[in-house]
Amino acid sequence: MMENNQAIGIFDSGLGGLTVVKELLKALPNESIVYFGDTARVPYGNKSKKTVCKFSVENADFLIKHEVKIIIVACNTSCSLSLNVLKKKYKVPVIGVIEPAVRKAVERSRGLRVGVIGTRSTIKSNVYNRALKKINKKVKIFSKSCPLFVPLIEENWINDDITLNIAGRYLSDLKKREIDTLILACTHYPLLMRTIQKIMGRRVELINSAEEVAGQVKEHLELSGRLREAKQKGRCLFYVSDEPAQFVKIGGKFLGRKMSRVRKV
């Protein structure tokens, strides 16, 4: 069956989605991946629904042209504004980053006290709150936007006293609220896992949405009998809409390995 050898498609407004690719490579090392980062139009966070839907459809169309067997929407803004549109439009399954993380958080939280951290626009949109309440109305949600995390990560100040200091300030309210589970509602944030865990302490479980999405994709491909059958490792292709230099430079950190085969569309 040729079609099982088709690639997994994934798009993001920029490079954050590479943390999802990292988890896909771990969970499904034999799969091929086509990634599209819309670096010329990043960020989506402050753009209108109409515009974000238009961009998301264009990105998904690009992946469809590469004959992917599934589409992962790795951008939180795209997920909250366009996921339903994409699900209706395409025959292949479309998976977002919000639902897998939310499901896992409710599953893991003993006291149903869940924290959510993300960019200003994600937090303001309340999309995680709605998704959590949909699964369990009793869950108490405490959210906090951490607008400096993305620029700190893109500055590559990852294991850094300044970043630890800033994380301490952002997270102090959530600590006081005694949450037991914390959703990293931004695909950049897995790079700060160690810092965030240090601040929150061992008793708070961090939910890495990248890892949860990869798990859901694996489950779906297994259940539908669509895992790649080739014995050798899959290929990763990366496409971006702006000059690839900055993407390649920082992307390696996100991916946990050196990047190659990055092309401008």
82 within 8 A of 51, measured Cβ to Cβ = no
Active-site residue (options: 79, 146, 186, 236): 186
Half-sphere exposure of 225 (CA within 13 A, CB side): 2
Give CA angle at 119 (134, 27), nearest 5°. 70
Residue choice 148, 193, 227, 262 for contact with its own copies (CB under 8 A): 148
Q: How far is residue 227's CA from residue 4's CA, in Å, rounded to a whole number?
A: 6
Nearer to its own copies, 180 or 242 (CB): 242
**42: contact with its own copies by CB under 8 A:** yes
Helix axes 127-135, 76-89, angle to 10 degrees: 60
Could you say whether residue 198 binds its own copies (CB under 8 A)? Answer: no
Tell the smallest beta-carbon distance from residue 38 to its own copies (Å): 11
Beta-bridge partner residues of 239: 36, 263
The residue (of 134 and 249) whose beta carbon lies closer to its own copies is 249
User: Considering 53, 75, 146, 236, which one is annotated as catalytic?
Assistant: 75
Q: Helix 76-89 vs helix 98-108: angle between axes, to the nearest 10 degrees?
A: 110
Active site residue 75: yes
Question: In angstroms, what is the minimal distance from the CB of 193 to its own copies?
Answer: 21
Q: Provide, rounded to whole angstroms, the least separation between the CB of residue 246 and its own copies.
A: 8
Other CB atoms within 10 A of residue 258 CB = 8
Binding string, residues 150-189; x marks residues near its own copies by CB under 8 A: -xx-xx------x--xx--x--------------------
Site for its own copies in 46-105 (CB under 8 A): 46-48
Q: Which residues pair with 95 in a beta bridge?
A: 72
Q: Which of 29, 40, 229, 265 binds its own copies (CB under 8 A)?
A: 40
Length of the chain: 265
Residue number with CB closer to its own copies (111 or 151):
151
Q: Is 186 a catalytic residue?
A: yes
The answer to whether the CB of 26 falls within 8 A of the CB of 217 is: no
Residue 40: which of 20, 24, 21, 62 has the closest Cα? 62
Find the shortest distance in angstroms from Cβ 53 to its own copies.
Answer: 15
Nearest distance in Å: CB 147, its own copies: 6
Residue 99's CB is within 10 A of a number of other CB atoms, namely: 18
The residue ranges that bind its own copies (CB under 8 A) are: 39-40, 42, 46-48, 147-148, 151-152, 154-155, 162, 165-166, 169, 242
